[in-house]
Amino acid sequence: MTMDRAPLGLKKDVSLYDATDRARVNSSISLAGEVAARIFTAKMPVVEANPQDNMLFLASEQHGNLALSKARTRLQGGTGAVVTGTVALSSQSIIVGIDFQQATLTNLVTLNVNSRTVFTNCTFTNKSNLVPSLITCVAGAKASFIGCTFYGTGLTQVVDNPGVITDIVLLGCHNATGAAAGNVTEIGGV
C-alpha cells in the first residue's frame, strides 16, 4: 500500500506497512522510527531491551513473573493489567497502574537493595491469607507508593522493611488490610 500524498516530509512512495513494520507494531509503539514503548501481552516475558530508559506497557490481561533490573525503567499497565507472579525489583523504576495479585505463599513484590521504585495508582491484593506482608524490602531499598491501595487478610504488616523508616513512603494510600503499614512513613493515607 502506498501513500498518495507525502505527509510530514515522507516520500510519496513510502509503504505504510512493510513486513518489518508489522512485526514492530505487534510489540511496540513507534514514534519517528524510535521505539517509545514495548507492549507485552500475557504470553510474552517482560524484557528490558535497553541498558536504561526502558518504557514497558502491560496489556489489559494477566501476566506472570516480573523482574526489573535496568536503570530508569517505566512500567505502565493498561486498564485490567494484572501481575499474578512474583515481582523482583533491583533498580530505579516507575510503576503505574498495575494490579498485583498473589494467591501463593510468597509476597507480591520484593524490593532489593538497589531498588529505587515509585509505585503510582497500583493495587496490591493478597489472596492466600498465609503471607505476613505484601511487599518485602531488603535493607537499603527505597520506594514511594503514591495513591496505591492494599487489600488482603491474615497480614501482620503491609510492608516488611528492615531498613530506615524514611526509606519507604506511603503517600495518600489506602490500607484496607486491617494490618499495620509496617516500618514506613505514611503521609495522608485514607
Measured CA to CA, the distance from residue 154 to residue 148 in angstroms comes to: 19
Summary mean pLDDT of the chain: 82
Residue 20 φ/ψ, nearest 5 degrees:
-65, -45
Cα end-to-end distance, the chain, whole Å: 55
CA–CA separation, 10 and 109 (whole Å): 46
Residue range 122-146: mean pLDDT, rounded: 91
C-alpha cell at 163: 531498613
pTM beyond cutoff 0.85 = no
Instruction: State the average pLDDT over residues 92-113.
Output: 89
Tell me the pLDDT tens digit for each residue of 8-48: 433 333 333 333 333 433 444 444 444 457 888 887 888 89
Give the count of beta carbons closer than 10 Å to the beta carbon of residue 179.
Answer: 20
DSSP code of residue 45: P
As a whole-number percent, the residues of the chain with pLDDT over 90 amount to 61
